[in-house]
Amino acid sequence: MNDEHLIVQEVAPRDGLQIEPTWVETTDKVALIEALSRAGFSRIEAGSFVSPRAIPALRDGDEVFRSFKRTAGVIYVALVPNLKGAQRALAAGADELNLVLSASQTHNLANMGMRPEQSLAAFGDIVRLAQGTTLSLNGSIATTFGCPFEGAISEDRVIALVDAYLELGLHGVTLADTTGMANPRQVRGLVSRVLQRVPASALTLHFHNTRGLGLANVLAAYEVGARRFDAALGGLGGCPFAPGASGNICTEDLVNLCEEMGIATGIDLPHLLTLSRQLPALLGHEVPGQVAKAGRNCDLHPPPESFHKADSNSRV
């Protein structure tokens, strides 16, 4: 991997499906994860191990993780909120746990039923559980760039949580913009600060496109050195416990941006477009992604029929 390479972690099977009102069969989830595994991702968040009452759409996480065929070189990540989730994920064969708390007190209470400090205490138990295993641990900070209940979140609050994660010995950190409140200037400032503590290889940005700024925020983070980004096929996604939440940045739109700008991702865009175009049939609604509708720049169209006539007339 060279310094310019951008790593995309696909999160549609987790963030994407967690908010879907229609039940997606376990076999369909497994098929989606296996198809995504063939697209060139090095990391896929394949589900979560949370309370089935909180997120009924992902209540089959154990069976999903036990069922999909693994592709060599892909790290399969599971989101967990507490020790019970970590135990389930470990038993089901997850490679990495994504531990989540919110910078905002109110969102943590709404999403996790506890205060952020209680989440952190639970993560200490998970670190002890992971000792002596090959599990890698990532810590996410939801509502990093703003909270739909509390509004602005101070940079110092986020930095304190990053430091708490590093003290716990977590291997990676994700800054998550849960309801798309970030702007590029804010992203540049905070990401620059966090990169003084966490190497680019261990920092992930998780943007939602709720206010249309998702890809602008990616570029702002990339330009100050961030290299890892979460994205969801079709632009699915959202947290059911955050009012107004909507989709993640769209994977194929991000990969298209990278291809047009000459930034390598290792991801097979035509394969992704095929998968994205199957989502409406699976979910029963249109999805937000744009490139799957418009096609790539290089997907050219034949000129209008009248051009041929004009052309042949001009030759007589």
Query: What is d(CA 8, CA 298) in angstroms, rounded to the nearest whole number?
Result: 22
Q: Alpha carbon of 236 to those of 10, 45, 90, 227, 307: distances in Å?
A: 11, 13, 26, 22, 40
- Give the footprint of ligand COA on residues 15-44 (CB under 6 A): 18
Could you tell me the smallest distance in angstroms from the CB atom of residue 241 to ligand COA?
Answer: 6
* 113 binding ligand COA? (CB under 6 A): yes
In 3D space, the residue among 99, 55, 57, 56 whose CA is nearest the CA of residue 77 turns out to be 99
Q: How far apart are CA 253 and CA 235, in angstroms?
A: 8
Rounded Cα–Cα distance for residues 116 and 262 (Å): 40
Closer of 113 and 225 to ligand COA (Cβ) = 113
Per-residue interface string for the shown chain with Zn ion, residues 7-36, x marking contact by CB under 5 A: --------x---------------------
Task: Check: CB of residue 185 under 8 Å from CB of residue 217.
Answer: no
For residue 12, count other CB atoms closer than 10 A to its CB. Answer: 30
Is residue 112 a contact residue for ligand COA (CB under 6 A)? yes
Task: Number of residues interacting with ligand COA: please give it, by CB under 6 A.
Answer: 21
- Name which of Zn ion, ligand COA, none residue 232 binds, using a CB cut-off of 5 to 8 Å depending on partner kind: none
Site for ligand COA contains 51 (CB under 6 A) = yes
Stretch that binds ligand COA, among 3-11, 45-53, 183-191, 277-285 (CB under 6 A): 45-53
Binding to ligand COA, residues 121-180 (CB under 6 A) = 142
Q: State yes or no: residue 111 binds ligand COA (CB under 6 A).
A: yes
Helix, coil or strand: residue 157:
helix
Question: 255-273 burial, b if ≥16 CB within 10 A, otherwise e?
Answer: bbbbbeeebebebebeebb
Mask for 216-245, x = binds ligand COA (CB under 6 A): -----------------------x-x----
Name which of residues 77 to 96 contact ligand COA (CB under 6 A). 79, 81-82, 84-85, 88
Backbone angles phi, psi at 277, to 5 degrees: -70, -10
Note the residues at the interface with Zn ion (CB under 5 A): 15
Note the residues at the interface with ligand COA (CB under 6 A): 18, 48-52, 54-55, 79, 81-82, 84-85, 88, 100, 111-113, 142, 239, 241
